[in-house]
A and B are shown apart, each in its own frame.
Chain A
Amino acid sequence: MVLTEQLDRLLSQVEKPGRYIGGELHSVYKDENNIATRIGFAFPDTYELGMSYVGLQILYKVLNDLDQVYCERLFAPALDMEILIRQKRLPLFTLETKTLAIDLDMVGFTLQYELAYTNIINMLDLAGIPILSRDRGKEHPFIMAGGPCVFNPEPMADFFDFMVIGDGEEILPEICKVHRQWKKSGRDKKEFLLTLSSFQGIYVPSFYQPVYRTDGTMERIEKIEDKAPKKVTKCIVSNLTEAPFSTEPIVPLIEVVHDRSVVELFRGCSRGCRFCQAGMIYRPVRERSKDCILELAKKQLASTGHDELSLLSLSTNDYSQIENLVEQLMEMGKENNVSLSLPSLRLDSFSLRVLEEIQGYKKTGLTFAPEAGTQRLRDVINKCITDEDIYEAMKQAIILGWPRVKLYFMIGLPTETYEDLDGIGQIARNIMDIYKQYRYKQKGGRFGLTISVSNFVPKAHTPFQWFPQDSTESFHAKHIYLKKQLQSIRGVQFNYHNPGQSQIEAVLARGDRRLGKGIIRAWELGCKFDGWREQFKYDRWIQAFTETEMNPDFYANREIGLNEMLPWDLVDNGVSREFLLSEWDKAMKGQKTQDCRYGCIGCGINALNSCERMGTL
């Protein structure tokens, strides 16, 4: 636990100084003299968000379990702290030893969300590290990236020396090993990157040069470095039960977004919703064994003292032994006053029964994501929920006395018409009718419904990657239309996302390498924390694009030709282009694709890794 005098003086002037102190239980302090590779795990948002991210806990453990490696944490300082550290010219430092980021060997950013991109630039700048990879010398750390957003690495390509695509647990120790040898050899930085580029999952942007046509579309990606692979295939951890997972996660001293123990149930998802990037890029489904989960939960709770345990996956109910597991975990919780929290639940009778037992009198809110207002559109997006499912779940929830239900919808989906928007209104009205019908049976008193609408953002590697996003004007019009319908229904609340934010997200999600200068310009104009509604500055982004001669519509609102080369084509995530095309085709015909547990649907991932889940139902 280290605190410089300079920092100490700043801490008494900022909000939540606990964000910057380190020293939490299970944070790691090592003898700095015996370290070959010093890494900063950088989360481009505030401490409270970063510490709620399970990936950080996993990789922190993986790296610090290695003898000659020391991994510390870096977060984006909040706005009040940033003003002070810029005034005092105090460069970005690690939480643990307050070492300057610029003095580390490697800084790895996790790219969880496109709207955090300007924060990455800002953190590099705060650290005093040149923003562009080509401007950095041997004295600077290697800057690397990982996380879901690197599946389209191009918009951020100019800033990173290399990117790790896919699961990081197994490749990171390899990277450290190579780094140690390279450091001993004293050779130049390129040698290190050359060695890395031969590894599965490593993308070195400077080894490639995209070539564009006059109409702005991509012609090809030229390899500058002979030895670099033609395509970068993602890393996959095949066996989750044997994969490392923290039993002693860092326990934050201050309240963070999720203050709880978390165990990952499985990675991947077999449902195949066509808009969902996570559902495509994390294939195949890999489960952790039930015994392993129980063991991890027990150890984590004992070592942290948390009073809440949560299970992590893309769809909790799809865990093969979910009922049995939940029963055992609830038993465990009762003994130790630990409550269980189950996110990403499908609202079937099992879930409602479990929730009843978990929450009892403490019922707060129930969330549920039908995603689209009509059966037709749900078939298009392959969200396999029927009207009956929705109404049955709502009826049960009302009878059980849930005071508040939140439904998530997406607008701007392919083939959407105003009839589908009417469908959202209809669902809201029907649910309130169910409430009127059953309220005499209800345990509680009141019932409120929230309709939360997000704007569809086409994402790389999904069947909808070619589809244009609605214009901001169209989103606005749809919001007003929905508002009119919904505000007349008593007990219904309506909220929606900022269309400007959704557009910038789409630009960055489908962007190419040329966007890098637009991102820098936006940051220069003061954009940061773009994911925070109150910080987001749409006008500045548009100004940045204008000044750098980028057209946001080209990236967000254009239908991309099916034969066009895509900026992310050099990333092979295992799901074949043929599969995505056939899913697109089926979507246009309103045809569903089954959950692959009923039988293989031929997505192509089994060419990369065995897929244990196919045909298990």
Chain B
Amino acid sequence: MSKYLIKFTKCSIIRYISHLDLMRLFHRAFKRSRISLTYSQGFNPHPKMSFAQPLSLGYTSVGEYLEFETLKEYSNNEVMERLNLVMPAGIKVTDCWKLKNNNKTAAALVCWGSYEITCQGDFDQPPGQAVQSFLQQNQILIQKPQKKRKEMTEIDIKPLISQFKIIEEKQGQVKFLVVLRAGSQANLNPELLMAAFYAYMQKIYVKEDVSIKRLELFDQTQKALYEIHER
């Protein structure tokens, strides 16, 4: 039995499939690649495979991670090659690590995520200044729907933002880089941040004008997941 962590990209139109669809996609890809995964025991065995952090439908990413357990041992390169041979367009495995047994799972490690956000359209006021003053607020309150109950609750997202800056500004388009809490403890969806920022600027948030790309996932100390594992 061997454990691996792979890093992969989810690009172009395949961003329009959901997290569940992606799970099924990998499940089938492993079967096609003839890399045999170990299965859980019990009445309803399922392959041992888990993603570090789900990606919202519609986002692209160059920093997705998946862990899995195989029956046989393969070299890191072999895992990558075999998987890439059978992947549909848009998914590409870019790195692979063999894990030691005592590693914490990737899902448990994830604490932060970085995103590149591209907004189409012009801003009335210089967005750079707006970002500054937006972040200088004591609290950044947003309405968030409750998972179980349907009512909205107000939360302060300021502690969930580590970085929020402009990396490119040109006619009709602004690119932001943000680092936000991610994972099971606390999580901030970049769309919620952008909606709050647009509201702050008194601008209407149009979903189709904003595209989001995840760049990387980090642990508590903001060390990227790929830096954590030795080759």
Chain A contact residues, CB within 8 Å of chain B:
1, 3, 9-13, 17-18, 20-25, 251, 253-255, 259, 301-307, 336-337, 360-362
Question: Contact at A23–B31, with CB atoms within 8 Å?
Answer: no
Question: Contact at A305–B27, with CB atoms within 8 Å?
Answer: yes
Q: How far is the CA of A361 from the CA of B44 in the complex (A)?
A: 8
A436 to chain B, nearest CB (A): 27
Q: Which of A9, A254, A302, A361 contacts B32 (CB 8 A)?
A: A302
Question: Contact at B208–A251, with CB atoms within 8 Å?
Answer: no
Question: Contact at A253–B28, with CB atoms within 8 Å?
Answer: no
Residues of A within 8 A of B207 (CB): 12-13
Q: Mark B67-108, 1 if CB is under 8 A from A, else 0.
A: 000000000000000000010111000000000000000000
Q: How far is the CA of A304 from the CA of B25 in the complex (A)?
A: 10
Chain B contact residues, CB within 8 Å of chain A:
12-14, 16-18, 20-21, 24-25, 27-32, 39, 43-45, 47, 57-58, 86, 88-90, 207-208
Residues of A within 8 A of B13 (CB): 1, 3, 21-23
Question: Contact at B27–A304, with CB atoms within 8 Å?
Answer: no
Q: Which of A21, A306, A337, A360 contacts B16 (CB 8 A)?
A: A21
Residues of B within 8 A of A21 (CB): 13-14, 16
Contacts A12-B208, A13-B208, A21-B13 hold; do A307 and B31 have CB atoms under 8 A apart?
Answer: yes
Q: How far is the CA of A172 from the CA of B17 in the complex (A)?
A: 33
Question: Contact at B14–A9, with CB atoms within 8 Å?
Answer: no
Q: How far is the CA of A255 from the CA of B39 in the complex (A)?
A: 22
Contacts A18-B18, A362-B44 hold; do A23 and B24 have CB atoms under 8 A apart?
Answer: no
A304 to chain B, nearest CB (A): 7
Q: Which of B24, B32, B43, B44 contacts A259 (CB 8 A)?
A: B24
> Closest chain A residue to B43 by CB distance?
A361
Q: How far is the CA of A307 from the CA of B20 in the complex (A)?
A: 15
Q: How far is the CA of A304 from the CA of B88 in the complex (A)?
A: 11
Residues of A within 8 A of B47 (CB): 337
Q: Which of A11, A12, A23, A337 contacts B90 (CB 8 A)?
A: A23
Contacts A1-B12, A9-B208 hold; do A254 and B28 have CB atoms under 8 A apart?
Answer: no
Residues of B within 8 A of A18 (CB): 16-18, 21
Q: How far is the CA of A18 from the CA of B18 in the complex (A)?
A: 8
> Closest chain A residue to B25 by CB distance?
A253
Contacts A17-B58, A21-B13, A304-B28 hold; do A253 and B21 have CB atoms under 8 A apart?
Answer: yes
Q: How far is the CA of A465 from the CA of B84 in the complex (A)?
A: 55
B66 to chain A, nearest CB (A): 15
Contacts A17-B58, A361-B43 hold; do A336 and B16 have CB atoms under 8 A apart?
Answer: no
Question: Contact at A305–B45, with CB atoms within 8 Å?
Answer: no
Residues of A within 8 A of B30 (CB): 305
Residues of B within 8 A of A9 (CB): 208
Q: Is the interface of B mostly helix, strand, loop or mixed?
A: helix
8 pairs across A/B with beta carbons < 8 Å?
A11-B16, A23-B14, A23-B89, A23-B90, A255-B24, A306-B31, A361-B43, A361-B44
Question: Contact at A24–B88, with CB atoms within 8 Å?
Answer: yes
Residues of B within 8 A of A23 (CB): 12-14, 88-90
Residues of B within 8 A of A307 (CB): 27-28, 31
Q: How far is the CA of A25 from the CA of B32 in the complex (A)?
A: 11
> Closest chain B residue to A337 by CB distance?
B39
Residues of A within 8 A of B21 (CB): 18, 253-255
Residues of A within 8 A of B27 (CB): 305, 307
Contacts A18-B16, A304-B28, A306-B28 hold; do A12 and B88 have CB atoms under 8 A apart?
Answer: no
Enumerate the 3 nearest inter-chain pairs by beta-carbon distance, A residue then B residue, closest first.
Answer: A305-B28, A305-B31, A17-B16
B30 to chain A, nearest CB (A): 7
Residues of A within 8 A of B18 (CB): 18, 254
Q: How far is the CA of A373 from the CA of B207 in the complex (A)?
A: 56
Q: How far is the CA of A17 from the CA of B57 in the complex (A)?
A: 9
Question: Contact at B12–A12, with CB atoms within 8 Å?
Answer: no
Residues of A within 8 A of B58 (CB): 11-12, 17
Question: Contact at B208–A25, with CB atoms within 8 Å?
Answer: no
Q: How far is the CA of A24 from the CA of B32 in the complex (A)?
A: 15
A172 to chain B, nearest CB (A): 27
Contacts A18-B21, A24-B88, A255-B24 hold; do A304 and B32 have CB atoms under 8 A apart?
Answer: yes
Residues of B within 8 A of A25 (CB): 86, 88
Q: How far is the CA of A520 from the CA of B162 in the complex (A)?
A: 59
Known: A17-B58, A304-B32, A306-B31. 10 other contacts (CB 8 A): A1-B90, A11-B16, A254-B21, A302-B32, A305-B30, A306-B28, A307-B28, A336-B31, A337-B31, A337-B47
Q: How far is the CA of A301 from the CA of B31 in the complex (A)?
A: 9
Residues of B within 8 A of A306 (CB): 28, 31
Most buried by A among B13, B86, B90, B208: B13
Question: Contact at B45–A253, with CB atoms within 8 Å?
Answer: no
B213 to chain A, nearest CB (A): 14
Q: How far is the CA of A283 from the CA of B39 in the complex (A)?
A: 44
Residues of B within 8 A of A1 (CB): 12-13, 89-90
Residues of B within 8 A of A22 (CB): 13
Q: How far is the CA of A360 from the CA of B21 in the complex (A)?
A: 27
Residues of B within 8 A of A20 (CB): 16
Residues of B within 8 A of A361 (CB): 43-44
Q: How far is the CA of A336 from the CA of B30 in the complex (A)?
A: 11
Residues of B within 8 A of A17 (CB): 16, 57-58
> Closest chain B residue to A259 by CB distance?
B24
Residues of A within 8 A of B57 (CB): 17
> Closest chain B residue to A13 by CB distance?
B208
> Closest chain B residue to A251 by CB distance?
B28
Q: Which of A253, A259, A304 contacts B17 (CB 8 A)?
A: A253
B17 to chain A, nearest CB (A): 5
A17 to chain B, nearest CB (A): 4
Residues of A within 8 A of B44 (CB): 361-362
> Closest chain B residue to A19 by CB distance?
B16
B150 to chain A, nearest CB (A): 19
Question: Contact at A305–B20, with CB atoms within 8 Å?
Answer: no
Residues of A within 8 A of B17 (CB): 18, 253-254
Q: How far is the CA of A251 from the CA of B17 in the complex (A)?
A: 13
A51 to chain B, nearest CB (A): 13
Residues of B within 8 A of A259 (CB): 24
A73 to chain B, nearest CB (A): 15
Q: How far is the CA of A20 from the CA of B17 in the complex (A)?
A: 11
Residues of A within 8 A of B39 (CB): 337
Residues of A within 8 A of B43 (CB): 360-362
B225 to chain A, nearest CB (A): 25
Residues of B within 8 A of A12 (CB): 58, 207-208
Question: Contact at A253–B14, with CB atoms within 8 Å?
Answer: yes
> Closest chain B residue to A360 by CB distance?
B43
B138 to chain A, nearest CB (A): 33
Question: Contact at A305–B32, with CB atoms within 8 Å?
Answer: yes
Most buried by A among B16, B17, B44: B16
Q: How far is the CA of A302 from the CA of B31 in the complex (A)?
A: 7
